[in-house]
C-alpha cells in the first residue's frame, strides 16, 4: 500500500472535480460522507467489486474531494468539505443538494444505520 497523493487546496482542479462527480457511484460515496464523519472502507456499501471501489475512491482522492488516512491495514475516508468550500465556494453544497433531489447514488450506503449519535 503506497501512501496516497492528495492535491493541495489550490491544486484542486475544477474539471477534475466535475469529472469525479459525473459518476453515480462516486456521487453516492460523497453523499455518504457528507455528514462529515470519517468512514472506513469496509463500512462503505456499493454494488461493485472491491477493486472497482478502490478505483472510485482513488478518483475522488486524486480529484481532491476526499482525504484518506491509513491505520494499520484499514483505511478511512473523509470528505474535504472545508477545502472544497474554500476552493470552489458553494459548489459542493449545490451538487449535494441536487444529488439529494434526484437521489443520485442511492446504491451506495454505509453498513450500519446513519449516524447512530
Partner DNA sequence: TTCGATGTTCGTGAAACATCGAACAAATTA
Partner DNA sequence: TAATTTGTTCGATGTTTCACGAACATCGAA
CA distance 105 to 57: 14
CB of 10 to DNA, least distance (A): 21
Are the beta carbons of 39 and 69 closer than 8 angstroms?
A: no
CA distance 58 to 15: 16
Among 19, 42, 45, 86, binds a second copy (CB under 8 A): 19
Residues in contact with DNA by the rule CB under 7 A: 1-2, 4, 19, 22-23, 25-26, 40-42, 47-52, 54-59, 68, 72-75
Rank residues 1 and 117 by Cβ distance to DNA and give the closer one.
Answer: 1
Amino acid at each position: 500500500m503506497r501512501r496516497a497523493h492528495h492535491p493541495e487546496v489550490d491544486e484542486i482542479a475544477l474539471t477534475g472535480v466535475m469529472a469525479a462527480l459525473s459518476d453515480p457511484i462516486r456521487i453516492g460515496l460523497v453523499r455518504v460522507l457528507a455528514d462529515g464523519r470519517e468512514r472506513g472502507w469496509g463500512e462503505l456499501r456499493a454494488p461493485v467489486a472491491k477493486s472497482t471501489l478502490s478505483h472510485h475512491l482513488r478518483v475522488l482522492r486524486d480529484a481532491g474531494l476526499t482525504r484518506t488516512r491509513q491505520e494499520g491495514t484499514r483505511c478511512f475516508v473523509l470528505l474535504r468539505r472545508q477545502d472544497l468550500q474554500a476552493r470552489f465556494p458553494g459548489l459542493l453544497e449545490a451538487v449535494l443538494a441536487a444529488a439529494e433531489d434526484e437521489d443520485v447514488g442511492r446504491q451506495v450506503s454505509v453498513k450500519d444505520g446513519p449516524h447512530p449519535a
